[in-house]
Amino acid sequence: MSVKFEDNSIKVKAALNHATIQWLYEASGELEAQVKRNTRVDTGQTKGSWTYKVDEANGEAMVGSPQENAIWEEFGTGQYALNGDGRKTEWKYKDRSGNWHTTTGKKPTRALNKAFNSSKVKLKKLLEAMLKGMG
């Protein structure tokens, strides 16, 4: 009796890699859309700035915004800072129109965090379905 061994590990790894990369694009796109829905609008600059990037070589994806305001929206400022480490006193600032305002900070909306938390179960199920459908 002879036994023949066929090594399919290269094909399996390639299929896993392909499914994972496909999922990263799907998941990142979904998170980007959800965070845009969660972002409050003043001028629309921050809302429109959310984007994603997939690093296929490292199997990673990043969803973010280059706008400084996105950090303030996510974590808050002043007395509303998420970890309580913001400025406790009021301050004045001049807006783009040259008008002065007094503030004690900005309450965080946690748009990205909320998008992740509301989507993670759905995205896990999507990954499971994609991996099961590899064969």
Average pLDDT, the chain: 94
pTM for the whole structure: 0.83
Q: Is 2 part of any domain?
A: no
Distances (CA, A) of 15 to 6, 65, 127, 132: 17, 31, 13, 11
pLDDT digits 0-9 by tens, 55-111: 999 999 999 999 999 999 999 999 999 999 999 999 999 998 999 999 999 999 999
What is the number of domains present in the chain?
1
In a domain, residue 1? The reply is: no
pLDDT beyond 90 at 134: no
Identify whether 45 is part of a domain. yes
Distance between CA atoms of residues 50 and 41, nearest Å: 13
What CA–CA distance (Å, rounded) separates 9 from 31? Answer: 32
Q: Which domain, by its residues, includes 48?
A: 9-132
